[in-house]
A and B are shown apart, each in its own frame.
Chain A
Amino acid sequence: MRTPRFWSWVIFIVSLLYFFLPLAGMFEFSLRARRGVYSFDAYRNVFADPEFLATFTYSIIMALVTIVVGVLIVTPTAFWVRLKLPNARPLIEFITLLPLVIPPIVIVFGYIRLYNTSSWLPLTGSAAGTNVLLMLGYVVLSLPYMYRAVDTGLRTLDVQTLTEAAQSLGAGWGTILGRIILPNVLVAVLSGAFLTFAIVIGEYVIAALLNRPAFGPFMVWMGGNKAYEPAALAVISFGITWGCMGLIQLVTIFSRHTQAQR
């Protein structure tokens, strides 16, 4: 099939140009900090900025906490639905798809109006409470991906048999979840985790409207106030996203050798 191959190459190369050029442009712009000469000054300025370190650390910690809380909420739920309540599956899946339907800006608008100090759950009344609210907002954002990942992982296991075997040996629910189910879905969980990480690091709307010192608002602030550092930040951010996706691939490939086969 000669002709299709030619057109395939055309499409591929045009797409390659479209996707590659902005990355090249972003990298080149970030090298322009010193007038007339290429240098890594922009990167040096970024790393030397205490705000960068503070907001980046904040977002990393948020991401890790989000992942842990997300796993703790999603894994037992997915497990329970598979085991005892298959009829509830459509309902749970619908709920996990809601964050994709409702724009995050609407969700955070709801948080601000609902959980201020005059409400029964005054989360925005303190910095710590607002941090918790932000983290829960991130969990909501990552819910579709986490649930899908864990569910896919559970699909490859014979949950019924494993649970019965464990129970017959005297294991309680905690042991079953922690020592039998979780290790087997770890690969799937890790995929969801890396995706959550990428989402949280770059997230802007929720952090900005809750006034938390996260990396997203910091990047936007940099974009307006600095000339070449934003491009350096974009390169760093892209590197992180690429790293996360790469780790997902790695983990998936690695899992094919270690996962319990049915």
Chain B
Amino acid sequence: MTKANASTALFGSLTRWLGLAPFLLFALLFLVLPTMHIVLGAFQNPAGRFTLENVAGLADPSITGPFYVSMKISAITALLGCLIGFLLAAAVIHGGLPKALRSAVMTFSGVASNFAGVPLSFAFIATLGRLGLITVVMREVFGVNIYATGFNLISFFGLCMVYLYFQIPLMVLIITPALDGLKREWREAAECLGASGLQYWRMVAFPVLWPSLLGTFALLFANAFGAVATAMALTGSSLTIVPIKLFAQIRGDTLQNPHLGYAIAFGMIVITGIANIVYIVLRARAERWMK
């Protein structure tokens, strides 16, 4: 290329990138910069100098406690969400149920996965709370007082139940394309070779599906970890999970140390970041089988 051609080419590629300018500016100002500000703030003390003491401050039991609880809830609801969502999706797609049920389940999953947050908590309080429909019905009709058995909606178990309401549909939505990708020919070929249903699932289907399953597990984990509105509507800001702790810190500096708030936010980003990277990597692996 001559000099003129080279500079025109460079100019051409510059103007091409210019077309992305509005989007990049928007993403920079309202997504990247705020996040970077928080990440950097986690490593600064009030005087503005670099310090690791905020991150070290995360080791305090009043913070590791919520992190542990959050991770436990996220892991359990992700695991159960994966399991139950997979079973439901498999039942509806490959289980021999009427075709109409599949689209009904898909539509409802779309609704339920977005029904998270405040109204979901209200729905569960109205159903399983002390004066909820099921509690009352169990007491009046079956003579069973579920609260006497130690059940409580405002407990780890109760919160998991509520979270599953949007985790399971999310799993159904994401795993459906993967399940669709299980070609019928493979099943028939396996049967020709004498495999039972269980052997088919164990040796053919699962190896194909496991990247999707694990990847979606990671996504569900990140989803539950960052959920704040549901828990807040259920309990107000006294539950010890990380997002609520951060919320209380932003609102009322309950930790009496603003930069510790940055550190907590940074911790959240790290955990959800790792989970999402796992998801992306595994999804790329899974897509090999889709071709």
- A101 contacts chain B at the CB level, 8 A cutoff: yes
Interface residues of B in 1-45 (CB under 8 A from A): 16-17, 19-20, 22-23, 26-27, 29-35, 37-38, 41
- A95 contacts chain B at the CB level, 8 A cutoff: yes
* Contact across chains for A26 and B127 when beta carbons are under 8 A apart: yes
- B175 contacts chain A at the CB level, 8 A cutoff: no
Which A residues are in CB contact (< 8 Å) with B121?
223
- B204 contacts chain A at the CB level, 8 A cutoff: no
- A261 contacts chain B at the CB level, 8 A cutoff: no
Query: Would A140 and B251 be within 8 Å (CB), given that A21-B127, A103-B243, A110-B37 are in contact?
Result: no
Which of these, B20, B94, B123, contacts A81 with CB under 8 Å? B20
* Contact across chains for B134 and A25 when beta carbons are under 8 A apart: yes
- B247 contacts chain A at the CB level, 8 A cutoff: yes
Q: Mark A76-90, 1 if CB is under 8 A from B, else 0.
A: 110011001100100
Binds B, one of A53-61, A159-167, A182-190, A237-245: A237-245
Q: Give the CA-CA distance A103 to B88 in the complex, in Å.
A: 28
- B165 contacts chain A at the CB level, 8 A cutoff: yes
* Contact across chains for B34 and A219 when beta carbons are under 8 A apart: no
* Contact across chains for B126 and A8 when beta carbons are under 8 A apart: no
* Contact across chains for A109 and B97 when beta carbons are under 8 A apart: no
* Contact across chains for B229 and A11 when beta carbons are under 8 A apart: no
- A73 contacts chain B at the CB level, 8 A cutoff: yes
* Contact across chains for B26 and A199 when beta carbons are under 8 A apart: no
Query: Would A73 and B233 be within 8 Å (CB), given that A26-B122, A204-B118 are in contact?
Result: no
Which B residues are in CB contact (< 8 Å) with A105?
226, 228, 243, 246-247, 250, 265, 268
* Contact across chains for B127 and A202 when beta carbons are under 8 A apart: no
* Cβ-closest chain A residue relative to B280: A97
* Contact across chains for B95 and A102 when beta carbons are under 8 A apart: no
* Contact across chains for B16 and A85 when beta carbons are under 8 A apart: yes
- A30 contacts chain B at the CB level, 8 A cutoff: yes
* Cβ-closest chain A residue relative to B161: A18
- A233 contacts chain B at the CB level, 8 A cutoff: yes
Which of these, A28, A121, A219, contacts B119 with CB under 8 Å? A219
- B46 contacts chain A at the CB level, 8 A cutoff: no
Which B residues are in CB contact (< 8 Å) with A19?
108, 112, 165
Query: Would A241 and B115 be within 8 Å (CB), given that A102-B272, A110-B37, A209-B250 are in contact?
Result: yes
List residues of chain B with CB under 8 Å of any chain A CB: 16-17, 19-20, 22-23, 26-27, 29-35, 37-38, 41, 84, 87-88, 90-92, 94-97, 101, 105, 107-108, 110-112, 114-128, 131-134, 164-165, 168, 197, 222, 225-226, 228-229, 232-233, 236, 243, 246-247, 250-251, 261, 265, 268-269, 272-273, 276, 280
List residues of chain A with CB under 8 Å of any chain B CB: 1, 3-5, 7-9, 11-12, 15, 18-19, 21-26, 28-30, 73-74, 76-77, 80-81, 84-85, 88, 92, 95, 97-107, 109-114, 121, 136-137, 139-140, 143, 195, 198-199, 202-205, 209, 216, 219-220, 223-224, 230-231, 233-234, 237-238, 241-242, 244-246, 248-249
What 10 A-B pairs have minimum CB-CB distances, sorted nearest first? A110-B34, A25-B127, A8-B95, A29-B126, A103-B226, A25-B133, A234-B119, A26-B123, A8-B91, A234-B122
